[in-house]
Each structure stands twice: as C-alpha cells, then as structure tokens.
Chain A
Amino acid sequence: MKQFLKTIFLVDLLQGLWVTFRNQKPSLIYTEQYPKERPSVAERYRGAPRLNVHPDTDETLCIACNLCALACPEELIVVTAERNEETRRKELTMFTYDTSRCMFCGLCEDACPVDALELTQDFELASYTREGAVWDRQMLEEGPLPTEYKH
C-alpha cells in the first residue's frame, strides 16, 4: 500500500527533483574559471621541465651524465657535452628536450643524480609551432614565459 501510494504520488521522481534543487546553492558551484582563476597545482606536479642552475653562480647543475636521456622512454632528451681540458671536467654544451613527445612520466627526473633536471609546476606548454615545443638549454633554464591572457 505504501509502495502503491509512493508510485501514485511520484515520490521517486520528486526525490530526484529535490536532489537537483538543493544542489543549486551558489556555494556548491565547483567551476574553476581558468585562466581567470589559476588552479593551485600540487607541489609534486610533473609539468614543464626545468634545468636547474646554481642559485649563486648561475652555472648549470647538469653534469652531462646523460642518465636522463637513457631513462627516457621516448628518447626525447639529447645531451651533448665537451671535455674542458683545463678543469678536466665534462661540460654541458647542449641540452634539448622535446616537450611535444613528453608524457611527463618523471623517469628523467628520477634518474638525475644531481637534481639538475626537474619537472616543475608550470603546465602551460602550448606553442604555435612544432619547433616551439622543442626546448633548448636556455628555455629549460629560464623556464617558459608566464602566459598572459587578455579577453
């Protein structure tokens, strides 16, 4: 009988209507107005790669060991180095990182023995050309320019 009355008076439907109705509260709105509002990205976020430099001397931390290039499943890192005859050390000459093929797995970061290569919280990697997605050493050290939006 109770079931019958429930059916007649469309209780199941009204219940559903009530759920959607009470979710109208403006405080429940979940939308993030990107790019107006910037998302807060977690500390460990794996985004744009960065080649760290020594904060004081601006010298690169990279020792050109090539471990990142070996670790990369997509083989998109190319490291070239030159032996400096004076200091008898290997010095980094070129470092390119093809972000277009990168899947941000973090294996290169894990492989780096000196914490030179790092995936940062920057996530805006778009560029107008394919070549723009291949980052050279300068780009990796300075990071991408902060994006400005006008609308």
Chain B
Amino acid sequence: MEEILNNPYVFPVIATMLIIALFPLVAGYIVLAERKVLADFQVRLGPMRVGPYGFLQPLADAVKLLLKEDIIPAAADSWIFWGAPVLSTFTALTAFAVMPFSDRFYVADVNIGILFILAMSSIGILGLILGGWSSNSKYSLLGALRSAAQMVSYEVPLGFAVVTALMVAETLSMQGIVQTQYDKGIWIAFSNYGLMLVPTALFVIAGVAETNRAPFDLPEAESEIVAGFHTEYSGFRFALYFLAEYASIFVLCGVAVTVFFGGWLRPFANVGFLEVPLNVIFPILLFLLIGGGCGIGTMRVSLAYEKGIMAVLTLGMLLVAALFAIPAVNVLIIGFFWFLFKVLILVYMFIWIRGTFPRFRYDQLMDVGWRYLIPISMGSLIVNGVVLLLTS
C-alpha cells in the first residue's frame, strides 16, 4: 500500500480521473451560474423550476442532451462530424493537466506548462473548424471560417501578452510562475511599475475572443448565422461542444489567474499579518454567508424535497466553513480556494461583458485584432522588456 502511494504516477492519475469525472458537472454548474448571473443582469430569474431555485437544472439538461436523438445530416462527412466535437473536448480537458489548482493539487508540473496550454487551446479550434466544415451546411461553414480567422488573429496578441508576463516570471512552468510571484511579493499584473496592466488587459480581451465569447462570439453568432459551427449538431455531440467551450473558458481564466493574478496565492501573500483575516476569516465568512443564503432559501421553498436539498446545501456550506477553521485542513485547501475564487471572479467578468455589449462585426473583429491589439501587445512587450532591463 505504502509502495503504491509512493509511486509518482498514482496521484496524477487520481487527479486526472477526478478532473475528468467532475468537470462535466462543474461545467454544468458554470452554465447554471452563467444563466443565473445573466438573468440577474436582465431583471429576470433564470432557471427556477428544476429543484430549488433551479439548482438541479444542469442535471436535467445533461439528461435531456444524452437522451436526445443524435442526428448526423445525410450530406455530412460523418467521420469528421463524429470526431470534431471529441477533438475539441479532448484538447480542452487535456489543458487541465498542467493547471496549478493549488500548491499541492495538480496533475503535472511540466517545465513548458504554459506553452502546453496555449498549444492545446490552438488545436481545440481545429475541432470547431472541422465540425463546421463537415456539417456541409452554409451556416456551419461560415461559422467555421469565422472561427479560423478569429483564432489566427487573436492567438497573436494572446501570445505576446503571455510572453510579456513570462519575461517577468522567467519560467515556463505553471507552478514556477506562481512561485516567482510569491518570491517577488507582487502579482505579475501589477509588477513592473504597473506597466504589466496593459498585457493583462490584452490577455483578458484576447481571451474573451479566443474562447468565442460575446462580444467576440462570431463563430456562433446566433442572430446572424443561427448557431455557427454547431448549427447541425444535436444531442450529446452538441453537449461535447458545450463542455469544450466551458472547459476552455475555465482553462483560460485559470491561465490568466496563474500568470497574472498570483495563481493560488492569497492577495498580499507576503504580508504576514493578513494571514489570518484573509486565509481563515474571509473564507469562513464567505461560506457562512452562502450557507445563510441557502438557509433562508430553505425557509422559502415549499416542496419537501426542495427543502431537503436546500438544507443539505446549507449544512454543506457550514461544514466547508468549519473546515477552514481547522488549521491542518486549512493549509491543504486554502490554495485551491483562492485559485477557484479568482477564476470565478474572472468568469463572472466574462458573463458581465457578455450581458452588456453588442457583438462585433467580422471586419471590426479583424480590425480590433490586427490594428489595435497586436500593435499594442508588441509595444507593451518592448516597453516592459526595456523597463525590466533597466531595473534589473
């Protein structure tokens, strides 16, 4: 037993299984959160019928998508049609391999981690292009072409922004990047006399575009080309695309957090006296608040099973809050907490942007990419490099 546990492959395999098993569920709940948050911006309620406050909606959606008839259009290139969503999902999930969830919880710490993630997200777009192409539908084709063009244009500023950050971090390993930020005592986003804020903003903007989110959601602009590359997809294949999209959002936010916002570090990681308020009191208060909210929800819902679910949720939240109070457990989970917290804030930003802005037009998208983002990212690379040189 001891031997097995000490085998260096055991923990990564367990972590991989956990991620693959759990991520679809997590993605489902990100979708639910997106629908709820979006509804909030739009003065409505969002899903409310399945479970208390729509809490079981992701499960209902999953069951629906699994049971739906799987249609492959007669004129489609069925093999590519079949494989494209798999490719997308595969690459999106693979990127999790180097994601540093915390100082302890990660699958692998590769010395080229960041390159690996960028490579995977680039291949992922191939899935969209192939899916759109093989559907043999004009709308899908237009969507595929759009996503190809968009990927080419926005990979560049994204890459430049990352390169700028790497100059500061001086390593390609994801864990290493976080470690550098701990050593320097400042998140990369704010380092270099605040000059790094520019590539940070560029990364977020290009990231929104890279994940095909509004206002850059041209490949699936529903008011123009119906659903873009996945117009012809239904059932589980559609669900795979959905999963891939949310996985890549999560990955991208994770990269942004790791590279620019200190990864699993708490804010002001080097300021000792903030240790207790930020690492203990803050999470406890947060989960108590959520638990309290669920508690109020328990009173409000009327049906017995809904009351039950809400009560379980309340207890769960209180339990998590209690866990943070135990010092030994706290050390284990606090990194994970901060990583997720930051990622969720970024995801919220993505949803907020989606809920507010109109969509770019194709030529404007190219304009923004080539005429603004790329020159600015190159400029910021040079300026940051020079400043780094002078100050080191």
Contact = CB atoms under 8 A, between A and B. Distances in A.
Per the CB under 8 Å rule, do A and B touch in the complex?
yes
Interface of A: 13, 16-17, 19-21, 23-24, 26, 28-31, 33, 151
B40 A24 contact: yes
16 contacts: A13-B356, A13-B357, A17-B352, A17-B353, A20-B356, A21-B41, A21-B352, A23-B41, A23-B42, A24-B41, A26-B40, A29-B40, A29-B43, A31-B43, A31-B45, A33-B48
Interface in B22-52: 40-45, 48-49
**Top 6 nearest A-B pairs by Cβ distance?**
A31-B45, A20-B41, A20-B356, A31-B44, A30-B43, A24-B40
B120 to A, nearest CB: 30
B159 interface: no
Interface of B: 40-45, 48-49, 352-353, 355-357
Contacts, number: 33
Contacts of A28: 43
B130 to A, nearest CB: 34
B352 A20 contact: yes
Nearest to B303: A151
Contacts of A23: 41-43
Contacts of A20: 41, 352, 355-356
A30 B44 contact: yes
B43 A16 contact: no
Contacts of B353: 17
B356 A19 contact: yes
Contacts of A30: 43-44
Residue among B40, B352, B353 with the highest chain A CB neighbour number at 10 A: B40
B349 to A, nearest CB: 9
A17 B41 CA distance: 10
Contacts of A16: 356-357
Nearest to B355: A20
B98 to A, nearest CB: 32
Contacts of B355: 20
Nearest to B37: A24
A30 B44 CA distance: 6
Contacts of B352: 17, 20-21
Nearest to B45: A31
Nearest to A14: B356
Contacts of A33: 45, 48
A16 B354 CA distance: 11
A16 B353 CA distance: 9
A23 B356 CA distance: 11
A19 B44 CA distance: 15
Contacts of B44: 29-31
Given A29-B43, A151-B49, 19 more contacts: A13-B356, A13-B357, A16-B356, A17-B352, A19-B356, A20-B41, A20-B352, A20-B355, A20-B356, A21-B352, A23-B41, A23-B43, A28-B43, A29-B40, A29-B44, A31-B44, A31-B45, A33-B45, A33-B48
Nearest to B38: A20
A13 B204 CA distance: 15
A124 to B, nearest CB: 18
Nearest to A21: B352
Nearest to B349: A17
Nearest to A10: B201
A12 B43 CA distance: 22
Contacts of B356: 13, 16-17, 19-20
Contacts of B43: 23, 28-31
Nearest to B358: A16
